[in-house]
A and B are shown apart, each in its own frame.
Chain A
Amino acid sequence: MTQGLDWIARSGARAKGRRPAFFDEPAVDRLYSLSLALMAELSATRERLDTVERLLEAGGSLKRRDIEDYAPDRIAGEERGEETRAYIARVMRGFQQEVEAMEQPDPPIMDIVEQLSAR
């Protein structure tokens, strides 16, 4: 993993420029971010499951008991922990970036549009 910078925190960096509010109630905008991220994660999980099925069908073997009894060692535990952190960061991005926007507010995009459009 990359040294010297927090790759998970930085991957959620907010793009500069005030985000449009699509709904009257800001919580609805947050819920869209949340549910869409979960939708994507479930899609990726299903794709992964399909990969496992295809690999098994093609010649490997795997016992369900093996999955039930699996206990990660220290290194694997750290790797999986990092994955979980990254996963949470992805799903919670909308909330996290709302905090970031409160810290560093931008002017309305319309101001910039007018600025750049005036000759």
Chain B
Amino acid sequence: MTKDLPPPYTALARHPMMPRTRHDEAARLNFLTHFNRYVSGTLGRGNQLAYESRVLPAFRAEHGRDPVDRHEIRDEMNRDPFHRTWSALKRNSMEMRQMNGRQTVLRQLDELDALARQFNEHSGQLELDPAIAQPYYQTCVDIHCQPGGYHSEERPGDVTVGANYDVGLFATTGGALGGLNDGGGQAVVAWVKANRPGWSPRRILDIGCTIGHNAVPIAQGYPEAEVIAIDTAGASLRYGAARAAGLGVTNIRFVQADGEDLSRFPDNHFDWVQTTMFLHELSAASMPRILAEAWRVLKPGGLMLHVEQPQYGPDMPLFEQFMRDWDAFNNNEPFWSAMHGVSMTEVMQDAGFSPEEQFSIGVRAVVDPTIFPPSPDGGQEDYGRAAIWNAYGAWKAAPAQEMAA
């Protein structure tokens, strides 16, 4: 047996809100977990082989030069028979994951809705605001082929989309996010504790929290802090708040709000503002507005941290950029390509942080290594899905001292 075998679905923690899976439902997700790893690893390298052996030579013969950007590579690769086959396999796997998750959730929706209502009525950790409009970037397509996105309802007040997200993250990421799908949030906590030992943030804001799987570990890591987790999608927050209550995490509140307008919070209010795998699901118009608001509500001396897939940058080979771009065009992530093409240093500078205040780091999912193998990297990496991220951050400087007159 190799060490990198993904664990069975039954290794996931059975928190109270987690939909119950039957034998074959878990078995279908087990199949997809293995299948995804096979498609990204064993078959994924075929893309580079096809590119180097026939696509690039044909391009050079026709144009007398190399491709200048990832878009030119995509146009050529989309005509290549292997890449077409590989893309069809990958797209279908995502669609199957959605359908399998939805069958599990929808057959037991009465129980899940009742349980969520019970948790949320008693915990007081959920604050919905029906006046919050769903942004166009959320409604124009269903993000990563998730029917209904994060926001839609099967019936008023239901938890379908949130529950389905929780059920299937395991398969999508090849089992690399750990027992509570919270390896990203745990990684952030581990980094902060190692780099700011003894720091005790009082107020923490997580923007675009969906079901809170990355915000809850921050609340657990800093039990003295008050965590506010916001999202525009009430349907996901309903599940997320009930999930947190079921886990017994009480220092987090789920609030329906739009990151573009944080006027409910005063300036310099939070010690830490966090987003995790959120920015690429926005738009070019909304991202700077959200980041500017995030800067405004962050205290001097406070921490801003955005966990994302790596930005492309001039050092990343064009072919890798093309591979990482796949989800934008084939998995309903339409801002992915533009977002990963910008300089985060400039974006954060526009939001208020000088380059001197900024830093970037690499983080990997923190999971129980006795059960969960590390996310594959290098040639085996599932570009865009791997639990290996960059974090773009800044410690907000205190304003310069006023000179005494």
Contacts and interface: CB of A to CB of B under 8 A. Distances in A.
A104 B48 CA distance: 36
A22 B99 contact: no
A70 interface: no
Interface string A14-42: 11110110110000010011001101110
A111 B87 CA distance: 20
Contact of B100 (A3, A14, A36, A90): A90
A41 B28 CA distance: 7
A13 B101 CA distance: 12
Interface string A75-119: 000000000001001100110010000000010011011011111
B335 interface: yes
Interface stretch (B121-129, B146-154, B221-229, B397-405): B146-154
9 contacts: A1-B107, A5-B109, A32-B92, A39-B35, A89-B99, A93-B96, A109-B329, A117-B335, A119-B284
A10 B99 CA distance: 9
Contact of A93 (B99, B110, B137, B337): B99
Contacts of B148: 13
A116 B283 contact: yes
Interface of A: 1-5, 7-8, 10-17, 19-20, 22-23, 29, 32-33, 36-37, 39-41, 43-45, 47-48, 51, 86, 89-90, 93-94, 97, 106, 109-110, 112-113, 115-119
Nearest to A9: B106
Contacts, number: 149
A7 B107 contact: yes
B96 A40 contact: yes
A15 B106 contact: no
B24 A93 contact: no
Contacts of B85: 22
A22 B31 contact: no
Interface residues of B, number: 50
A98 to B, nearest CB: 12
Contacts of A113: 328-329, 334-335, 337-338
Interface of B: 23-24, 27-28, 30-32, 35, 84-85, 87-89, 91-93, 95-96, 98-100, 102-103, 106-110, 137, 140-142, 145-149, 154-155, 283-285, 328-330, 332, 334-335, 337-338
A117 B149 CA distance: 19
A47 B110 CA distance: 28
A2 B109 contact: yes
A44 B96 contact: no
Pairs of residues from A and B, 5 with the lowest C-beta to C-beta distance, nearest first = A17-B141, A44-B27, A7-B106, A117-B338, A15-B142
Contacts of B146: 15
B31 A44 contact: yes
Contact of A3 (B93, B103, B110): B110
Contacts of B28: 40-41, 43-44
Nearest to B283: A116
A51 B160 CA distance: 29
